[in-house]
Chain A
């Protein structure tokens, strides 16, 4: 029973265009949402996060959108660059601060 789903295992985008990665969750009690980026044979690195009291958070080329009614989270990367090619994981947490639940990941390929 997956509580966090990333339904697209892969995404291919042209350099300079927008990349949109999606994530759905099942439990409305989740109140903190994160995106991580992972290169092969490395640990994931934190990218951006949003709490449930907001619906948008921006950091440079990266913007996370939260739609609580739809239990949907998305990450927008604009403009996409070849160095953005990696696996992106969404993760959700609750007020206990102790655990995160990760999605299965989406592999993004940005080509020239």
Chain B
């Protein structure tokens, strides 16, 4: 069966520090991968998605970037965090062709202070 791992679960970082959140998927190959952010009391905002290694689509201009160095690894990064980067970050995967269903990781609560 497929599983998705996302870490860390909680992160507190000072303003101006770098960020690296990692997400890996097991039990499938060539998945679509996604990064979302949920701000407090808000819905899910799609940040990035990837349909293959090295292929990244950015949905909103921001202080963050994403990379997919391996088929089942998706990384969310920032060189310098802003206060507004605080939120709940979610990684998700989907089989791609033939299915719209996305499966989410447990999320990372990021607090930038």
How far is it, in angstroms, between the C-alpha of A46 and the C-alpha of B95 when the chains are bound? 14
User: With A104-B43, A105-B43 in contact, is A41–B107 under 8 Å at CB?
Assistant: yes
User: With A41-B107, A102-B43 in contact, is A93–B100 under 8 Å at CB?
Assistant: yes
CB <8 Å contact, A97 and B107: no
User: With A44-B90, A89-B43, A89-B44 in contact, is A32–B100 under 8 Å at CB?
Assistant: yes
CB <8 Å contact, B97 and A97: yes
CB <8 Å contact, A45 and B100: no
CB <8 Å contact, A98 and B49: yes
Tell me if B99 counts as interface (CB < 8 A to partner A): yes
User: With A97-B94, A99-B49 in contact, is A44–B44 under 8 Å at CB?
Assistant: yes
Tell me if B112 counts as interface (CB < 8 A to partner A): no
Q: How large is the interface on A (under 10, 10 to 19, 20 to 34, 35 or more residues)?
A: 20 to 34
Tell me if B51 counts as interface (CB < 8 A to partner A): yes
B104 (CB) vs chain A CBs: closest residue: A43
Tell me if A34 counts as interface (CB < 8 A to partner B): yes
Tell me if B98 counts as interface (CB < 8 A to partner A): yes
Give the residue of B46, B90, B97 whose beta carbon is less than 8 angstroms from that of A43: B90
Residues on A lying within 8 angstroms of B by beta carbon are 6, 32, 34, 36, 41-46, 49, 89, 93, 97-105
Given contacts A46-B102, A100-B100, 12 further A-B contacts (CB under 8 A): A32-B100, A41-B107, A42-B106, A43-B6, A43-B92, A43-B105, A49-B100, A97-B96, A97-B98, A97-B99, A98-B32, A98-B96
